[in-house]
Amino acid sequence: MSVATSAPATTVTPPIRRRRLRKPGSRVGYAFILPFFAVFGAFAVYPWLDTAWISLHDTRLSTYNHSNWVGLANYTDLFTNSFFWHAFANTLTIGIIATVPQLCMALGIAHLLNYKVRGRTFFRVAMLMPYATSLAAATVIFLELFDKNLGLVNWGLHLVHLPELDWQGSKWPAQIAVSAIVTWRWTGYNALIYLAGMQAIDYSLYEAAVVDGASRWAQFRHVTLPGLRPTILFTIVVSTIGAAQLFGEPLLYHNGKADGGTQGQYQTLGLLMYQQGWVNDRLGLASATAWTMFVIIVVAVLVNVGLTRRRDRKAAAPVKVGASA
């Protein structure tokens, strides 16, 4: 009762109240966030700006203290460089091969685990196991599986009379193999996030749908998917960033060499940057790549968000009509 009477008062005089509320706590607040921003400044902002500065110089580690100003030469070198465009295309294709099936599978698995299945906790924990596995160990196992001569995958292909593939040397098989490692590692993680999102959806919506005679598929499409939209957007954004920065899997897939295969068939942008900086000792060029990657990632995320917002707006209209009908 008292809540109801006090409510109008707050809405009438919001500015005064807010000012009064802010005073005592504000400085303590800054003190609390200071450690984070100190660390953030030292390990994120400073390197970020320093990378930009280095990218305008011809810098090598051996001659680090006397590097020459070259303006935008590293960027023009990069954009006219076949290795860059090659890595860009690889990052895109591996990103698609690794991310799209991964998120679809994660959604499906989460949907299944959302039902009352026997041993549900076991499956939920098992799902997260790949994520908890060391990347290096996983890649070594995958290398054995995809071995050209003695691997299990080629053995299976042989068994069903399909041609055996060179999973390391040939372009598409190698990209699929690298994507398989990524998919294996991250599907369970994303499924758990989807599961959490699903459990936040009001159960009465499903009950209402059942009353309306909706099938399970219809429930999934019309209740689960719309309810999960923010979660899906989050996983798409995180996966896009992960795909754009893909590094460990392709590095280890060629036994720790940064060339991404003998023909660069799975060299990603992250790997190219590492090769330029630490193998070829051209830190200026590598810094230019780092900044270009940053811009690419920001653009990719904005496109994702933009697309989803537009679909949201489109989707919002018919739902309202349906609800009122």
Partner 1 sequence: MRKSHRSRVRAVSLLAVATASALVLAGCGGSSDNNSSAGAGTGPCGTTAKTTVTVGLFGTFGFKENGLWDAYHKRCPNITVKQDVVEQSADYWTRLKTRLASGSGLDDVQAIEVGFVADVVQNHADQFVNWNKVPKASSIKASFYPWKWQLASTTDGAKTVGLGTDTGPEAICYRSDLLKKAGLSSDPADLAKQWTTWDDFIAFGKKYEASTSKQAKSHFIDSAASVFSTAVYQGNHAYDDDSGKAAVADSDGVKTAWGFATQAAADKITAGLEQFSPNWNKAFSNGAFAALACPTWMMGYIQGQAGDAGKGKWNIAPVLPGGATNWGGSYLGVPDKAKNKAAAIALVEWLSDKDQQVTMWTSPAQGGHFPSNSDAAADPSVANAVSAYFSNAPVGKIFGGIAAKTKIPPIGLYDTQIQQALTTQLTNVETKGTSPAKAFEDALKAIKQVTG
Query: Does the protein bind partner 1 through residue 278 (CB under 8 A)?
Result: yes
Nearest CB to partner 1, comparing residues 112 and 141? 141
How many other C-beta atoms are found inside a 10 Å radius of the C-beta of residue 276?
25
Which among 2-10, 35-43, 111-119, 303-311 is the span making contact with partner 1, rule CB under 8 A? 35-43
Query: Does the protein bind partner 1 through residue 249 (CB under 8 A)?
Result: no
Q: Rounded to the nearest 5°, which phi and psi values hold at 176?
A: -65, -40
Instruction: Give the integer Cα–Cα distance in Å for 193 and 229.
Output: 12
How many other C-beta atoms are found inside a 10 Å radius of the C-beta of residue 88?
17
Q: Rounded to the nearest 5°, which phi and psi values hold at 129?
A: -55, -50
Q: Rounded to the nearest 5°, which phi and psi values hold at 68?
A: -95, 145
Instruction: Give the integer Cα–Cα distance in Å for 276 and 205.
Output: 54
Q: How far is the CB of 42 from partner 1 (least distance, A)?
A: 5
Q: How far is the CB of 10 from partner 1 (least distance, A)?
A: 24
Q: Which of residues 77-106 bind partner 1 (CB under 8 A)?
A: 81-83
Query: Does the protein bind partner 1 through residue 5 (CB under 8 A)?
Result: no
Query: Does the protein bind partner 1 through residue 6 (CB under 8 A)?
Result: no
Q: How far is the CB of 168 from partner 1 (least distance, A)?
A: 9
In this structure, what token pair is assigned to residue 185?
A: 């590692």
Q: How far is the CB of 66 from partner 1 (least distance, A)?
A: 9
Helices (H), 119-170: 120-132, 135-145, 152-159
Query: Does the protein bind partner 1 through residue 63 (CB under 8 A)?
Result: yes
The closest alpha carbon to 284, from 131, 67, 114, 5, belongs to 67
Query: Does the protein bind partner 1 through residue 62 (CB under 8 A)?
Result: yes
Q: Which of residues 132-171 bind partner 1 (CB under 8 A)?
A: 143, 147, 166, 169
- Applying CB under 8 A, the site for partner 1 has a residue count of 35
**Structural contact between residues 116 and 206, judged by C-beta atoms closer than 8 angstroms:** no
Which residue reads 């679809």 in tokens? Answer: 104
Query: Does the protein bind partner 1 through residue 34 (CB under 8 A)?
Result: yes
Per CB under 8 A, residues contacting partner 1 are: 24, 27-28, 31-32, 34-35, 38-39, 42, 58, 61-65, 81-83, 143, 147, 166, 169, 255-256, 259, 262-263, 276, 278-282, 285
